[in-house]
Amino acid sequence: MDCLFCKIINGEIPSNKIYEDEKIIAFYDINPEAKIHFLVVPKTHICCADKIDGSNSHLIAYIFEKIPELAKKSGITNGYRIINNCGEDSCQSVKHIHFHVLGGEKLPEHIR
């Protein structure tokens, strides 16, 4: 499958990794939009939040359990924003579900 994040997961494309286990990988965004900006990605290919169901929601729950630990590990100490883009109108550019974690500075109050 021609999926950028599957290629990062299987090592075909390098990434600046923060964390990896059997279920997920977390790496810094190549084009950061905050002082600290990383992505948390399940190793299972799920295209987007629209396809979360009873068969894969445990992976999403696991990601949210891990985020506090990963935020701390990345140096975030004062709060963060979690973003998920889903589908065309959100401008999701990589069609493998991922959660952006942004922090390390005061973020703009509103995002569109």
Which residues of the shown chain bind ligand AMP in the complex (CB under 6 A)?
Answer: 4, 13, 15, 27, 29-31, 85, 91-94
Tell me the two tokens of residue 33.
Answer: 């939009």
The minimum distance between CB 3 and ligand AMP, in angstroms, equals 11
Between residues 54 and 91, which has the closer beta carbon with respect to ligand AMP?
A: 91
DSSP string for residues in 13-76: S---EEEE-SSEEEEE-SS-SSSEEEEEEESS----GGG--TTTHHHHHHHHHHHHHHHHHHT-
Between residues 88 and 109, which has the closer beta carbon with respect to Zn ion?
A: 88
Has 98 been annotated as catalytic? yes
The minimum distance between CB 52 and ligand AMP, in angstroms, equals 15
